[in-house]
Amino acid sequence: MSSPATPFPLYLALRYLRSTRRDAFTSFLSAVAAGGIGLGVAALVLALGALAGMQQALRGEIVARTPAATAERKLVKASRRVLRR
């Protein structure tokens, strides 16, 4: 079935992917299901990577455009009153 150098998880997966009766339709459905799961996982990994990159870029743009300090009109008037005393 497989060579002795095959890793155990791969050997186990190949053993149960093939049917014992060699039913072609069952083997085909197993292969399609495994391919669908693999494709779904790949799409999820790519989507999460893209979202993480966009989040990092957006955070960088927001921080770059946010001033370090702001002065509000009320605070400026209050500080002038304190300084005059």
pLDDT tens-digit series, residues 25-36:
777 787 889 899
CA 43 – CA 22 distance, rounded (Å): 32
pLDDT at residue 37, as a whole number: 95
* Counted domains in the chain: 1
Residue 56 belongs to a domain: yes
Range of the domain at 18: 8-84
Mean pLDDT, rounded, for 31-46: 94
Q: Would residue 67 count as lying in a domain?
A: yes
Q: Is residue 2 part of a domain?
A: no
How far is 3 from 60, CA to CA, in rounded Å? 52
Compute the mean pLDDT over every residue in the chain, rounded to the nearest whole number: 80
